[in-house]
Chains A and B, each alone.
Chain A
Amino acid sequence: MTTLTGGAGIASIKDAVRLRHERPGGRAYAGLRWGAAGLFVAVLLGLVVSVAIDSSQALAHSGIGFLWSGTWNPAANQYGAGILVLGTVVTTSVAMVIVVPVGLGMAAFLSELAPRWLAGSLSTAIDLLAAVPSIVVGLWALLVLSPLFGNHVEPFLKSIPVLEWFFHGYAFGPSILLASVVLAVMTLPTVVALSRTALSGVAMADREAAMALGATRWQIVREVVFPGARSGIAAALTLAVGRALGESIAVAMVIGNSPAVPHSLIAPGATLGSAIVNQFAEAAPGIGTSSVIALAGVLLVLTVAVNAGGHALLRGMGPRRAAGDGAVR
């Protein structure tokens, strides 16, 4: 640091700092940091390029019709992702029809309505359950829920006059409905944990202001807390949709794996993820494998689009809340 005392001015301080950082140790550190960041970007690009190369081979074979063609017949060398995309969208939508009201209601209960002792312990339990591996959910659904659905739930749904239109056909157990339930159970803890954090993050002053105006507790929840937490809730739901679209193993265990146009929610079906799991090992080397990898490519595009859309939506909602931004996935 002797250069600093020589009255040499700012330039020398800069020099001193630079000299110090350019000593071997400093340079090694800078290199490591850059290396790590660069490596991460390289892996990401590698993933996209690798999937894209195989997908392009499949597209070259099947034409652009691969994206919507409904035939998946490896024996005849015909490949199409149409039905699988449809199955993926249907299972995810039904799962969200279950998760959104149940999850948000549960989050509101935990954050606003439950007595403190109950809210505290339940919230901790839900946070922990967010870590349950999807394979465990799949096992439970296959061995416990599936017989239950085949024998009781599905025949019951079939017998209700109006719902019959959605639920008709033979009740097997494994079905699109069961897969959606699995996705719902799988994503529920995450949705509840993140929305609860977002709801709790709404300023106490806002609630007190509404209370002072004579609002009932429910009006506070409806008109102050939920609007205040909407960006955090949107982040939680985006995450849930993304995970539901991309889940493969648990869905493959319970959906029945029949790549046909779904005519009923209790009929077996297939999704992109479940088809990859089931077809990959049997795929013929070359175009067969490439076609399965192209399914992964379609899935990649679908999930990235949902996440990018979610991010755009969040940006439109103003500052992002910590709840959806953190690392608790």
Chain B
Amino acid sequence: MTGADRPAAVPGGALTPDDDSEAGRWGWAAGERRRPIIQAASRRTLRRRRLIGRVGRGLCMLCAAIGLAPLVALVYYTAERGIPGLSVDFFFHAPVPEGIPGGGVSTAISGTARIVGLAIVMAIPVGVLASLFLYERRGRLAGAVRFGADLLTGVPSIVIGIFAYALFVRPLHHFSDVAASFALAVLMLPIMIRANEEAMRSVAVDLWEAGVALGARRSRVARSVVLRGSLPGLVTGNLLAISRGVGETAPLLFTVAAPTFAMTLLIYADGTQPYPDVQQTAWSTALVLLLFVLVLSGAARLVASRLTRRAR
């Protein structure tokens, strides 16, 4: 709020700065050149300010309603169309070809579990160790890792999928879960690294120094002080990263052998078919996926809120 770019006669003038002095900034003691603010706010401008305020508040409320409507509709439709297709068979039977009744999506559920599980095994150790590196070191490599994590977070998932294709699928001449897991790990890793570092920063450096001063090895300090102290934050960040990974489609598109081996691919393949009963499978799978992701993300936030409550 600099005085230069705003005329003194802004309607209502309550926050209108007069000059750059502390008094002028807030207008309350500029009696020599201006009347005090409360007097200046005549009945008319007050009415106008209130009117503008009411309009503004109304617009915000409208925005909230406009924004909420599609989100509610999205969840509602997914539930409404998805629930009729849920059954025990849906979870435990393999998909059947179009036209044959029955069948489920067990292969897609187990495929997603396998791919994401392997991605977690790849990403979490690297993520935790790389963030410990960021915690303990500063310097060029640390800067590069941090910058790289920021950059990689913004890289579209389809580009990461292409990378996994070029690295594994093309040279080896076949699709593989490992390539898909690698792509998801690359996708989750930068989110994990930044979240882990953030969580570790909440552990006071004094504690780390005290640990080292006691003569403990750094690995020991890392384990007993840094990791233990930041555990809830680590859990939150990693769960959020995993919930991102579970819902990704693009990295799997060029790496998984068939759409029946991952839930997101199955939704894409079945949802774009014109047959209602195939679309039904897509809706039900979408509902299961949505619930799973919401539960993961909710669990992450529950851990986070527990943490803040304890810290208070």
Contact = CB atoms under 8 A, between A and B. Distances in A.
Interface of A: 1, 16-17, 20-21, 23, 25-26, 28-30, 32-41, 43-44, 46-47, 50-51, 54, 101-106, 108-110, 113-114, 122, 124, 126-140, 142-144, 181, 185, 188-189, 192, 209-210, 213-219, 221-224, 227, 239, 242, 245-249, 253, 273, 276-277, 280-281, 292-293, 296, 299-300, 303-304, 306-308, 311, 325-329
Contact of B217 (A26, A144, A327): A26
B217 A103 contact: no
Of the four ranges (under 10, 10 to 19, 20 to 34, 35 or more), the interface on chain B belongs to: 35 or more
B115 interface: no
A216 B57 CA distance: 11
Contacts of A214: 14, 37-38, 41
Contact of B158 (A32, A106, A277): A277
Nearest to A23: B217
Interface of B: 1, 12, 14-15, 26-28, 37-38, 41, 49-50, 52-54, 56-57, 59-64, 66-68, 70-71, 73-75, 77-78, 81, 125-130, 132-134, 136-137, 141-142, 144-145, 148-160, 162-163, 166-167, 186, 189, 191-195, 198, 212, 215, 217-219, 222, 237, 240-241, 243-244, 246-250, 253-254, 264, 267-268, 271-272, 279, 282-283, 286, 289-290, 293-294, 296-298, 301
A139 B286 contact: yes
Contact of A253 (B158, B253, B271, B290): B271
B172 to A, nearest CB: 15
23 contacts: A17-B212, A20-B217, A37-B130, A37-B134, A38-B141, A40-B130, A47-B152, A102-B67, A105-B59, A127-B297, A132-B74, A181-B70, A185-B74, A209-B26, A210-B15, A223-B1, A224-B15, A248-B156, A248-B250, A277-B253, A280-B253, A296-B156, A327-B241
Given A29-B219, A110-B64, 7 more contacts: A41-B148, A109-B61, A122-B64, A131-B297, A135-B286, A253-B272, A300-B155
Nearest to A214: B14
B67 A144 contact: no
A128 B247 contact: no
Contact of A131 (B126, B145, B152, B244): B244
A98 B254 CA distance: 32
Contact of B155 (A105, A132, A273, A304): A304
A326 B137 CA distance: 20
Contact of B247 (A28, A101, A135): A135
Contact of B63 (A105, A130, A135, A242): A105
B155 A21 contact: no
Nearest to A4: B215
A46 B189 CA distance: 15
A192 B66 CA distance: 13
A45 to B, nearest CB: 9
B154 A303 contact: yes
Nearest to B170: A289
Given A129-B71, A253-B268, A136 B78 contact: yes
B56 A218 contact: yes
Contacts of A106: 60, 63-64, 67-68
B250 A277 contact: yes
